[in-house]
Amino acid sequence: MRPGKLPPDLLADLLTRLPGGDPRVLVGPRVGEDAAVIDFGDRLLVAKTDPVTFATDLIGWYTVNVNANDIATMGADPKWFMATLLLPEAASEGEIRSIFDQIAQACRGLGVTSVGGHTEVTIGLDRPIMIGCMMGEVQKDRLITSSGASDGDVIILAGPIAIEGTALLAREAGEELREKGMSEGNLAEASQLLFDPGISVVAAARAATRAGGVTALHDPTEGGLATGLMELAAASEVGIEIDAEAIPTLALTREICAALSLDPLGLIASGSLLIAAEAAGAEAILAALREAGKESAAIGRVVPRSDGVSLISGGIRRALPQFDRDEVARFFDSRQ
């Protein structure tokens, strides 16, 4: 099979084969949900595991942040982090120390405690691979899932799309982008998108939930905004209608995607947050996001499931493009 996420139908079938039965598991394995939720009495434990396989630069920093994002999209606070780090035989002690420093820096920035993990040198790797596990907690009445959206809700996007993908390509494909005419200044600026505006959505999730009226949250990552919207629609069993012109997209993202013949809608999108909100509360959420320093926009609405997931561009409605793998994976595969 090709690199990237499994086809959603295959994944859904595989998940039905896993054992369950513990009544304390409130949210278990399901396509479209960002994390698991377990009832621990007065609080809910929220748990997530996610790997970083595309990036080699700042892999420790990436892994902490992308896992923390999925905890935040459940309305929870990320608290405890574990990681499995698999290293190629060519890794130097200096490189390994750098990865651990990145983990430490990212955890401190989020107020997260590192509680262990596993590190080894593994035969057959040509680059480091890290799998993170983040755990957090939330009060029972503040849990939010990807499955709460309903007909008439407004779809809000906090943060421009494909921040992570744009920065990742600037850092990992600089030679190709220079050959395509991208300036050193724009390449450097794109590389720094990891930090400004950044790929963390923890603050945005907190701002949105404090404002009230949020019915669902989802973190669009691998497969980009398009895949995130499809996952949200599947989890909530609804349709979604999106205004293409309303989607916030950085000029740097457009430049890099044009240079490499990639579609921004399918480019890994950590740094943006999908929010479904009651129509009456949408303006308050947008105001709260602006106050938190997060560029945001209402980009569409929830419609009946029978209407499907569509994109309106230039007054023309069409089915939302689907990506069987992330555009970053497609680009790296084309290099082989």
Instruction: Note the pLDDT of residue 15.
Output: 84
Residue partners of 4: CB distance under 8 A and separation at least 6: 222, 223, 324, 325, 326, 329
The class that CATH gives domain 154-335 is: alpha beta
Q: CA-CA distances (angstroms) from residue 327 to 38, 129, 261, 300, 323?
A: 34, 19, 9, 23, 8
Interatomic CA distance for residues 29 and 41, integer angstroms: 21
pLDDT digits (tens, 9 = 90+) for 74-101: 999 999 999 999 999 999 999 999 999 9
Interatomic CA distance for residues 330 and 4, integer angstroms: 9
SS3 136: strand
Residue entry with tokens 């450097």:
188
Interatomic CA distance for residues 282 and 154, integer angstroms: 7
Residue partners of 169: CB distance under 8 A and separation at least 6: 177, 190, 256, 260, 262, 328, 331
Residues constituting the chain: 336
Instruction: Note the pLDDT of residue 11.
Output: 82
Interatomic CA distance for residues 215 and 157, integer angstroms: 14
In the chain, pLDDT over 90 holds for what percent of residues?
Answer: 75
Residue partners of 183: CB distance under 8 A and separation at least 6: none
The domain ranges of the chain are: 8-142, 154-335
Per-residue confidence band for 336, with pLDDT thresholds at 50, 70 and 90 = low
Answer yes or no: is pLDDT of 50 > 80: yes
Interatomic CA distance for residues 162 and 170, integer angstroms: 12
Domain 8-142 has CATH 3.30.420.10: no
- The vertex-5 CA angle with 73 and 307, nearest 5°, equals 70
Instruction: Note the pLDDT of residue 222.
Output: 87
b/e burial code for range 77-93 (CB count within 10 A of at least 16 → b): bbbbbbbbbbbbeebee
The overall pTM is greater than 0.85: yes
Interatomic CA distance for residues 5 and 12, integer angstroms: 12
Of 48-57, 175-184, 227-236, 288-297, which gets the smallest average pLDDT? 48-57
Instruction: Note the pLDDT of residue 143.
Output: 93
